[in-house]
Structure 1
Amino acid sequence: MYVVLLTFTAPMEEVDYALPDHAKWLEKHFQAGEFLAAGRCNPREGGVILTRPMSRAKLEAILCLDPFALQHLATYEIVEFAATRTAPELSALNEAVLA
């Protein structure tokens, strides 16, 4: 699974203008079961996306189509990790149990 850290690289006015399209893009990937959580950082300098396990190539292809990426409004840091300990409500994501 991955944690994706978005950092805004453009003025907030530009980010806000693209936000509705970004929200639609997020919803598409939540509906596809690829994203688990997403939200703004505080302070509002970017955001975070938590994904299900997938290939890094697939994730990079998904991120390339984010309106923030298409409009050069954010950069992305991808952190891959294997969940080996989870809260009970997240046990389905515990890769140590799945192994």
Structure 2
Amino acid sequence: MFIISLSYKKDLSEVDKFIESHILFLDKYYSEKKFIFSGRKNPRTGGVILVRNVDRDTLQEIIKQDPFYQNEIADYDITEVIPTKYDEDFKIFIEK
């Protein structure tokens, strides 16, 4: 499981130009059951994506498809997480 932390490196006016295509990118990986959640940071300086069912190399390839990556809108910080304790409701997201 991975946490991707995006940090915008361009003004929000540039971010907003690519938000619709970024949402389509997210939708693709939600439909493939790879993304668990995503959302904006508050204040709006970037976003976070929680990812499952991929290895680091595959994740790097997925990120390259993001319009924010392709248009140099954001930097990506990837952290691998191995859940060892979690709420029972979260159990369905834990890889076996």
Give the TM-score taking structure 1 as reference length.
0.92
What does residue range 1-99 of structure 1 map to in structure 2 within 5 Å?
1-94=1-94, 98=96
Report SS of the residue matched to 2:18.
helix
C-alpha deviation, 1:94, in angstroms: 3.9
Output the aligned Cα RMSD: 1.0
What are structure 1's unaligned runs of at least 5 residues? none
Whole-Å separation in 1 of the counterparts to 2:2 and 2:12? 26
- Given residue 78 of structure 1, which amino acid in structure 2 is its aligned partner? I
Moved over 4 A (4+): none
Cα pair 2:7 2:74 within 8 Å, conserved = yes
Whole-Å separation in 2 of the counterparts to 1:73 and 1:87? 34
Cα pair 1:4 1:78 within 8 Å, conserved = yes
Higher relative contact order (CA 8 A, sep 6+): 2
Give the TM-score taking structure 2 as reference length.
0.95
